[in-house]
Amino acid sequence: MEEPAVNFTLLLFVLLVVTGLFWIAERLRFARQRIDAAEAATSALRRRRDELRAQGITPDDSLSDENIQATRARLLRQPWWLEWTAGLFPVIAFVFVLRSFVAEPFKIPSGSMEPTLVPGDLILVNKFLYGLRLPLGHERLTPGRAPRRGDVIVFRLPKDPAVDYIKRIVGLPGDTVSYENKQLVIDGKPISEKADGQWFDPSSMAYYQQYRESLDGVQHRILINPQAPAYVIGGPDNFPHRDACHYDSQGFVCKVPAGMYFVMGDNRDNSLDSRYWGFVPARNIVGKAFFVWMNFGGLKNIGPIH
């Protein structure tokens, strides 16, 4: 996923603070003022009605119990500016907590994770599995479990944290990862690939060979285009810990530094990933993608992410 991040979390936080201040003011001041005004008005109307009756005058309908209660209700009603501030605070607080600490929605804009995820997939990301983090500062609040090989993760792109990416973890801290002649090898052990039919790419109107790969027991599909070169096209960026990698015409070999992860797209020949811009720091991981909840172009894509 290469998606420029409109900082929705920051926007939500600002709305949370603003509406929260009005919500507190409503509880401590504005509501009390309306109650006092309503009590004073209804008491005055009842007193006026009693005075008229004492003088032998029949009060008109404006002093009936029904109209007095209507006056009370009108005076107790929140003004529109409080309805749109204090009234929205519980909703905004719920969305902020849910999105920041439980699950966050994302949209897949590109084909770099095909065939696992396709453009238009709307996915949910588990934000507490790897430990809760502060929504804005990203400091870890709880430990959670460590990311594993095969996990599909959303993360902030190391060279531009304003951009969210989605890829699959293939290398953990300390792993030696190589991808030479289109064969993934981790710590000297080739990762098995089994042919699994063909995949039709509607964007190029072409079929590609599909394989089933297993990373620590996580079964998923990948695409490999035999016509695409094995080397990193255009060469890699000058990323941090670049000296931990070796590139040649056959591919690359990288030693994953401590606290870092090596990620790749399932569409191996159509993915800008760690081969190009380097390792993903643990701090940059947003969460684990676990479910496609909608794709308006193809409902068959809905379901768990493997």
Supply the residues annotated as catalytic.
112, 167
How far apart are the C-alpha atoms of 81 and 23, rounded to whole Å? 11
Q: How far lies 91's CA from each of 4, 31, 104, in Å?
A: 26, 19, 16
Place of tokens 């400091």: 139
CA-CA distance, 225 to 211, in Å (whole number)?
11
> For the chain, what's the residue count?
306
Query: How would you classify residue 205: left for phi > 0, otherwise alpha for psi between -120 and 50, otherwise beta?
Result: left
Identify the three-state secondary structure at position 265.
coil
For 84, other C-beta atoms within 10 Å of its C-beta total 12
